[in-house]
Amino acid sequence: MNATPPPRAAVVDPLCAPWESHPDGRVRLGVLFIHGFTGCPASLRPWAERTAATGYAVSLPRLAGHGTSWQEMTVTRWPDWYAGVERAYDRLQERCERVAVAGLSMGGALALRLAEHRDVAGTVLVNPAIATTDPRFKVLGILQHVLRSTPAIGGDIAKPGQDERSYPRTPLAPAHSMTRLWADVRGNLDQVAAPVLLFTSRTDHVVDPSSAAIITGRIPTTDHRMLEDSYHVATLDHDADRIATETLEFLARL
């Protein structure tokens, strides 16, 4: 009787591979970058590279189920994504005196959760998602049993020619799990002690203003800055250079 062949390993898009940079010796500060839901490291790569060029240790992991196919992502949930964040944080901490964290969209929620449970030096958030006023999210718990996926939410970029390498479909079971992550994060925001630099786009077709309102209302150390020329994936948009520059200024103060 023939044995069942092992499952094929997921093929990772080369542009979605994780990336890191570690200067020789022990570094004063490391920075952990976290990409968003159905996205991949490509959305943060220029930001991470510019940070590393200044001398910081940098880690940009690929979250579980991302950078391959939306079908593979279907079997992952938010604890899987957060586990990868914690592993990357621990590796940075081994070589750095302190570690700061930066996240885009859902990556912002994961960054905040890390700040709630670990001693991070500071947090940078770009259009973070921890809530929504979209009524469709209220039925995800039921809808996930009827539909596996819906049309994509990625690619919200004003600047022509940019591609965040997000999935063409949004898997609903992971999306429902993401709302559980949001609730967990909202319940512990008072545990965030380190300073927060928050960037939000004036025009964002993915995340509504409710998340930023909660963060600024619950975390008194938040420095909130508005982006006028970018959509949701601002790290690849017209304000990308401003985000990178002001992040470096923020890190220098830490």
Matching residue, tokens 């770009």: 126
- What's the confidence (pLDDT) of residue 5? 41
All structural domains of the chain: 15-253 (3.40.50.1820)
Mean pLDDT, to the nearest integer, of 121-130?
98
36-88 pLDDT per residue, tens = 999 999 999 999 999 999 999 999 999 999 999 999 999 999 999 999 999 99
Q: What percent of the chain is predicted at pLDDT more than 90?
A: 84
pLDDT for the residue 8: 47
Q: How confident is the model at residue 142 (pLDDT cuts 50, 70, 90)?
A: confident
Q: Letter for the amino acid at 152?
A: A
In three-state secondary structure terms, 89 is: helix
Q: How much is the pLDDT for 149? A: 86
Residues noted as catalytic: 105, 204, 232
pLDDT at 9: 52
**What long-range pairs does 108-112 form, CB within 8 A, spacing at least 24?**
108/34, 108/36, 108/211, 109/178, 109/181, 109/182, 109/185, 110/34, 110/81, 110/82, 110/85, 110/181, 111/32, 111/34, 111/85, 112/185, 112/189, 112/192, 112/215
Distance separating alpha carbons of residues 191 and 112, to the nearest angstrom: 10
List, for residues 186-229, the tens digit of each pLDDT value.
999 999 999 999 999 999 999 999 999 999 999 999 999 999 99
Single pTM value for the model: 0.93
What's the angle, vertex CA 42, arms to CA 40 and CA 46, rounded to 5? 140
Q: What pLDDT does residue 148 have?
A: 84
Q: How confident is the model at residue 147 (pLDDT cuts 50, 70, 90)?
A: confident
Render pLDDT for 150-168 as a digit per residue (tens, 0 to 9).
Answer: 888 889 999 999 999 999 9
Confidence band of 4 (pLDDT split at 50, 70, 90) = very low
pLDDT of residue 7: 40
Q: Is the pLDDT of residue 6 over 50?
A: no
